[in-house]
Amino acid sequence: MSSVRSPDRFLMLSHRASALVFYMLALALLVLDLWTKALATAHLNYAEPVVLTRFFNLTLLHNTGAAFSFLSTAGGWQHWLFGGIASIISVVLVVWIYRAPATAILLKFALALILAGALGNLWDRVTLGYVVDFIQWHYKGYYWPAFNIADSAISVGAVAMMIDSFRSPPGG
């Protein structure tokens, strides 16, 4: 009689149980994102960098646009556009996580990260009218646009999806 290793037990989860694990991951990341944004809002002065290292600041900024402040000065209609897109994407991701095979662990991980990020930034857009950004990398006067945990989750999720696409055989 062979013993079942822990990863094998995870692979034997039903679609519903497997989906629940990744929904919980998305929820945990969403809570972390909203908590860190609340901390940044409460403890940082707007647009005043708090220098932590030679290449890393905490800088509270409000982004009314999309990634890299795309369309941030468009006049307000972009708020509804990005909110609508994030809502549709979130619904699609919830269904995709549920329907993906329990064995598609990397894919479900990626989708959960993207879902958490989409919901975190959607929450900001709906409740505040802008996305709270506060993480800022820089090097010798070159500054990467400020971002947040949600943006990081989306980026890591996208990379994980690309890795998964190269690992998975087509159609399976």
Q: Look up 124 and say whether it is catalytic.
A: no
Measured CA distances, 87 to 80, 116, 118, 128 (Å)? 10, 12, 8, 16
The answer to whether 117 and 153 have CB atoms below 8 angstroms apart is: yes
Q: How do residues 131-147 score in pLDDT, each as one tens digit?
A: 999 999 999 999 999 99
Which residues of the chain carry a pLDDT beneath 70?
Answer: 1-13, 65-79, 168-172
Q: What is the pLDDT of residue 14?
A: 74
Name the DSSP class of 55: S
pLDDT digits over 112-130, tens only?
Answer: 999 999 999 999 988 998 9
Given 8, 33, 124, 133, the catalytic residue: 133
| Angle at the Cα of 30 from the Cα atoms of 70 and 52, rounded to 5 degrees | 70
pLDDT of the residue at 66: 58
Closest to 100 in 3D by CA, of 6, 4, 164: 164
pLDDT of residue 156: 98
pTM of the model as a whole:
0.86
Active site residue 33: no
From the list 33, 124, 151, 164, the catalytic residue is 151
H/E element, 40: helix 15-43
Q: What is the pLDDT of residue 16?
A: 80
Cα separation, 115 vs 127, in Å, equals: 18
Q: Are 129 and 77 in contact (CB under 8 A)?
A: no
pLDDT of amino acid 36? 98
- Name, in order, each residue with C-beta under 8 angstroms of 58's C-beta and a sequence gap of 6 or more: 40, 44, 49, 50, 52, 134, 135, 136
In the chain, domain spans: 11-45+57-139+148-167
C-alpha to C-alpha distance for 28 and 120, rounded to whole angstroms: 11
If you search the block for the tokens 């890393």, which residue do you land on?
56
